[in-house]
């Protein structure tokens, strides 16, 4: 078959298999993923999450001759079940743009020129050493989880510097503060299953038909199956999503705040709010003078008074949404027989009152009790593939530590210092600059207070994505003492102003883990080599840390990054204090000393005697692993060592009338078995001892062993008990039965 | 102004079409699919249609399919990855002022 024909056949099989699975003709719930597989056409397929949006679809990547040659949807993936959106056409091709960056480059006299990695890492390290406090790290919701974690630990645990931010500040920060201030913890409570159960889906300034197509297609597919799913599109412009909506409610920018309050107003006015749910599970909160995350407690009456002005007429006046439509929304929320999912993304998050609108939409769900059941969920979708897993869960923002901890919280700092094995007090309690501040400081002359001198940027393009670019990015030009380091895969608007460019590995050119919008963590393994000298971003961060260690930076000299080849020895073991030479730091006597023991001789519990005159020792053989369950099923190993035996000293054997291969009766006080004798084989027991291996389930020597345990460790003794070995009644040698596993 | 990016080499793709269930299978749509020179239609199951195409412009085909009467959704199942032609090059040496890269409205790509 021609390659092209094979490809078409494979393609049709992929589409047909997806349909079969959707129709229930094929069960696709294996106990575990099959892993990489190679097809007859030589294409090796392995899985990876899609490199694009926060939906977290899984693909199968087809690799041949070191290149990605095909992509298909991963049928076993819960998120997308074998289907891809239109972006899936391009996810394989992103690796192969002609102008891929392949060499580190340093700008000299305005021109970028190639340098070695060693030089490049030294340049970065020297910039840190110049003034560690003025060094900043700008990363990404497209960082893998290890990349973000490495950067976070390097900065906060190593440099005691909190000037690290992900680009997720620009996309998800208001979702974060919304979740934190409502639930006390970040990230959605629901998951994509809500889309399969909701009766009503309200889209708050959200265009999932274009931005999260695979999720949107779950809703459309339900409709094609005849299910009623009401879509309400609340937006400031018509989009592709609007074409599928039952209601399009166009509102004036920023008036979503009024709409949300209007719904709350009506829920109270019509008494359709969920008193039980609120009484059991909620308190009320309002802004304090500082407008901070925690706000201040307010009473229910205060809350009622606060939403009182948001009558339907007033909200219509502010928003342009007809009062009747507002009543329609409130009536839906007031019903207990429907399940409502609210979805939003950048419309609510990239918002000058993003925290407020997030809080309000969560609050409507809580006030009406539309929470905690499949289909009843307020959910902020993420845009990037790992804004949840990396930027948020790892805590790469300037005020966070991993796992939702805060730099300002002493207990959280202590926990992180303990886990990272850094000295107490290492982590700076003061939050660093947030993204806008960071770049503002970077683009401000040093003499005018611009105290960030160097930024390293990984996996993002602030030269295009920052707002107010002239102030926050382009103003860097001409500031000779400011240094921009950019790790990238292609030239961008950011590399255009970079002083040092580092070529990065992309997607399946490295191992990785991403956490998607619904808190699902998904990993992949490297499948192709990166081009030229491109390296993973985690490697770059660790290499810089290593170079700083060599340069003597105090934050890097605890040595815990080193392998410990020789424990307790100074220089090799990072926990041995300087000058100690040898230090037993786990000392039982708490004085860095190990213990020299005396233990008296004691005879074995059961030693040879006139009735059982020989020592029995048991053990393993080269060919078989332990009890032979695995290896006896490998023909070559079984043939090499087909059965157990008793290994004897030839003189003992002769005295018992036994020759090589004769059947002996091996007996202890606990039992007896018959074993063929092996003389002068691979091992030579002395007179008075025999050896029997334990791998053979047909000839189980442990029926004979004593197993007297050590009184302290409780481990049984398999190596010594008393045995007698005799010829089996003068009978001829009996062939060993064939293995049952055949 | 960078040249428009095209991919002259056709790529093999497979798609899964979902037709609206409440309608009878749209015969005109199915006929149009079968008549298309670049499409190979697989076995139609209920309202699901697998198809394979070789096309230099998958997105154009995708849009056409979405526009057909009775088609509820079009999803991608398989894509061949072929080497791309020269990508627009943003020089890694210092770029000109960003404003000069803004295309005039008439030449903006759709």
pLDDT of B6 higher than 70: no
Looking only at the bridges linking them, the beta strands covering A721-727 and A296-298 are unpaired
Measured CA to CA, the distance from residue A263 to residue B62 in angstroms comes to 39
Burial A217-256 (b: 16+ CB within 10 A, else e): bbbbbbbbeeeebebbbbbeeebebbebbeebbebeeebb
Contact with chain A for residue B86, Cβ under 8 A: yes
Task: Please check whether residue B103 is in contact with residue B56, taking contact to mean a CB–CB distance below 8 angstroms.
Answer: no
- pLDDT, mean of residues A53-60: 91
pLDDT at A738 over 50: no
Q: Who wins on pLDDT, A210 or A269?
A: A269
- The two tokens of residue B13 are 């793709």
- Give me the number of domains chain B comprises: 1
pTM of the model: 0.79
**pLDDT beyond 60 at A733:** no
What is the model's pLDDT at position A291? 85
Q: Looking at the predicted structure, is the pLDDT value of residue B107 above 90? A: no
Whether residue A15 and residue B81 make contact (CB cut-off 8 A), yes or no, is: no
Q: Please indicate whether, in this complex, the C-beta atoms of B77 and A18 are within 8 angstroms of each other.
A: yes
Rounded distance, CA A471 to CA A258, Å? 32
Question: Does B58 sit within 8 Å of A220, measured CB to CB?
Answer: no
Q: Is B81's Cβ below 8 Å from some Cβ in A?
A: yes
Q: Rounded to 5 degrees, what are φ and ψ at A101? A: -75, 130
Question: Considering chain A, what is the average pLDDT of its residues?
Answer: 91
Q: Which of residues 61-80 of B touch A (CB under 8 A)?
A: 62, 72-73, 75-80
Task: For chain A, say whether B96 makes contact (Cβ under 8 Å).
Answer: no
Token digits for A515? Answer: 């956490």
User: What are the chain A neighbours of B57 within 8 Å (beta carbons)?
Assistant: none
**Shortest distance, CA A74 to any CA of chain B (angstroms):** 9
B106 to chain A, minimum CA–CA distance in Å? Answer: 22
In the predicted structure, residue A529 carries a pLDDT above the cut 60? yes
Find the domain containing B81 and state its range: 1-110
Task: Verify whether the Cβ–Cβ distance B98 to A99 is below 8 Å.
Answer: no
Chain A residues in contact with B95 (beta carbon < 8 A) = 493, 496
| Residue of A2, A92, A224 to mutate, testing the B interface (most B Cβ within 10 Å of its Cβ) | A224
**Nearest CB partner across the interface for B75, out of A7, A69, A85:** A85
Asked if A348 contacts A354 with a C-beta cutoff of 8 angstroms, the reply is: yes
When the pLDDT of each residue in chain B is averaged and rounded to a whole number, the result is: 73
Task: List, by residue number, the catalytic residues of A.
Answer: 87, 171-172, 346, 383-384
Tens-digit pLDDT profile for residues B45-94: 888 999 999 988 888 888 899 888 888 888 899 999 987 655 444 444 43
Q: Return all residues near A124 (Cβ < 8 A) that are at least 6 apart.
A: A456, A485, A500, A540, A544, A547
Question: What does the pLDDT look like over A216-243, one tens digit per residue?
Answer: 988 988 988 889 999 999 999 999 899 9
pLDDT at A736 over 70: no
Find the CATH number of the domain harbouring B84: 3.30.70.920
What torsion do the CA atoms of A281, A287, A290, A296 make, to the nearest 10 degrees? -40
Residues ≥6 apart with Cβ < 8 Å to A567: A573
Q: Largest alpha-carbon pair distance within chain A? A: 112
pLDDT in tens, A579-614: 999 999 888 888 999 999 989 998 899 999 999 999
Angstrom distance (rounded) from CA A204 to CA A234: 5
d(CA A387, CA B8): 36
Stretch A328-339: mean pLDDT: 97
Handedness of CA A183, A187, A189, A194 (dihedral sign): positive
- Of the candidates A71, A110, A220, the beta carbon closest to that of B94 is on A110
């Amino acid at each position: 078959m021609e390659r092209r024909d094979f490809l078409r056949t494979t393609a049709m099989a992929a589409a047909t298999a997806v349909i079969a699975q959707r129709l229930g003709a094929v069960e696709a719930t294996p106990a575990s993923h099959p892993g990489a597989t190679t097809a007859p056409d030589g294409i090796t397929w392995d899985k990876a999450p899609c490199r694009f949006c926060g939906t977290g679809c899984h693909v199968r990547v087809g690799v041949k001759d070191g290149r990605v040659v095909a992509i298909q949807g991963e049928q076993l993936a819960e998120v997308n079940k074998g289907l891809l959106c239109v972006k899936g056409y391009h996810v394989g091709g992103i690796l192969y743009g002609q102008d891929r960056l392949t060499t580190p480059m340093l700008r000299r006299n305005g021109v970028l020129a190639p340098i070695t990695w060693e030089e490049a890492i030294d340049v970065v390290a020297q910039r840190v050493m110049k003034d560690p406090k003025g060094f900043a790290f700008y990363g990404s919701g497209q960082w893998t989880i290890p990349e973000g974690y490495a950067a976070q630990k390097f900065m906060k645990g190593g440099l005691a510097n909190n000037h690290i931010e992900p680009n997720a500040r620009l996309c998800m920060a208001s979702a974060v503060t919304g979740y934190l201030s409502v639930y006390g913890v970040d990230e959605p409570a629901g998951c994509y299953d809500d889309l399969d159960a909701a009766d009503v889906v309200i889209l708050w300034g959200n265009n999932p038909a274009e931005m999260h197509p695979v999720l949107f297609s779950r809703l459309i597919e339900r409709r094609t199956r005849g299910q009623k799913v009401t879509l309400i599109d609340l937006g400031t412009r018509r989009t592709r999503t609007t074409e599928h909506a039952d209601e399009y409610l166009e509102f004036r920018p920023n008036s979503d705040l009024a709409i949300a309050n209007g719904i709350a107003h009506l829920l109270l006015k019509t008494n359709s709010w969920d008193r039980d749910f609120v009484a059991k599970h909620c308190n009320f909160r309002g802004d304090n003078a500082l407008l901070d995350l925690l706000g201040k407690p307010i009473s229910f009456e205060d809350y009622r008074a606060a939403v009182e002005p948001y009558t339907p007429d007033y909200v219509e006046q502010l928003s342009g949404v007809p009062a009747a439509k507002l009543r329609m929304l409130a009536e839906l929320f007031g019903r207990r027989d429907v399940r409502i999912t609210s979805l939003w993304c950048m419309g609510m998050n990239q918002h000058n009152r993003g925290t407020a609108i997030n809080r309000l939409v969560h609050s409507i769900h809580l006030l009406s009790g539309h929470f905690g059941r499949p289909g009843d969920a307020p959910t902020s979708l993420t845009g990037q593939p790992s804004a949840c897993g990396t930027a948020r869960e790892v805590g790469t923002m300037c005020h966070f530590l991993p796992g939702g901890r805060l730099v300002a919280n002493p207990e959280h700092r202590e926990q992180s210092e303990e886990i990272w094995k850094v000295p107490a007090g290492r982590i700076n309690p003061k939050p660093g600059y947030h993204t806008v501040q960071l770049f503002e400081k970077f683009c401000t002359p040093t003499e005018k207070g611009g105290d960030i001198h160097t930024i390293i940027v990984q996996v993002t393009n602030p030269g295009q994505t920052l707002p107010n670019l002239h102030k926050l990015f382009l103003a860097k030009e001409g500031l000779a003492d400011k240094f921009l380091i950019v790790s990238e895969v292609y030239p961008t608007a950011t590399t255009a102003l970079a002083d040092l460019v580092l070529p990065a590995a992309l997607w399946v050119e490295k191992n990785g883990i991403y956490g998607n919008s619904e808190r699902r963590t998904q990993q992949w393994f490297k499948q192709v080599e990166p081009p030229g000298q491109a390296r993973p971003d985690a490697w770059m961060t660790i290499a810089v840390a290593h170079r700083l260690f060599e340069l003597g930076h105090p934050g890097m000299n605890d040595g815990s990054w080193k392998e410990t080849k020789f424990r307790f020895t100074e220089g090799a073991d990072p926990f041995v204090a300087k000058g100690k030479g040898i230090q037993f730091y786990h000392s039982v006597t708490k004085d860095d000393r190990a213990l020299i023991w005396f233990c008296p001789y004691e005879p074995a519990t059961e030693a040879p005697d006139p009735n059982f005159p020989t020592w029995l020792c048991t053990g393993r053989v080269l060919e078989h692993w332990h009890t032979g369950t695995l290896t006896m099923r490998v023909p070559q190993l079984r043939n090499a060592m087909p059965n157990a035996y008793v290994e004897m000293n030839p003189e003992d054997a002769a005295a018992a009338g036994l020759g090589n291969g004769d059947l002996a009766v091996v007996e202890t006080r606990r039992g007896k078995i018959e074993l063929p004798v092996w003389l002068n084989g691979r091992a030579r027991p002395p007179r008075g001892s025999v050896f029997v291996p334990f791998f053979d389930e047909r000839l189980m020597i442990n029926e004979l062993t004593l197993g007297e345990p050590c009184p302290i460790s409780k481990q049984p003794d398999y190596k010594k008990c008393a045995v007698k070995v005799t010829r089996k009644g003068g009978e001829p040698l009996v062939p060993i039965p064939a293995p049952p596993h055949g | 102004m960078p040249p428009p990016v095209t991919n002259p080499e056709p790529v093999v793709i497979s798609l899964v079409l979902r037709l609206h269930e409440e309608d009878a299978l749209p015969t005109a749509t199915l006929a149009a699919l079968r008549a298309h020179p670049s499409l190979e239609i697989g076995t139609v199951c209920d309202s699901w249609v697998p198809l394979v195409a070789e096309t230099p412009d998958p997105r154009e085909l995708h849009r056409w399919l979405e526009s057909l009467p009775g088609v509820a959704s079009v999803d991608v199942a398989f894509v061949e990855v072929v080497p791309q032609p020269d990508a627009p090059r943003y020089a890694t040496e210092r770029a000109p002022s960003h404003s000069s890269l803004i295309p005039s409205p008439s030449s903006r790509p759709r």
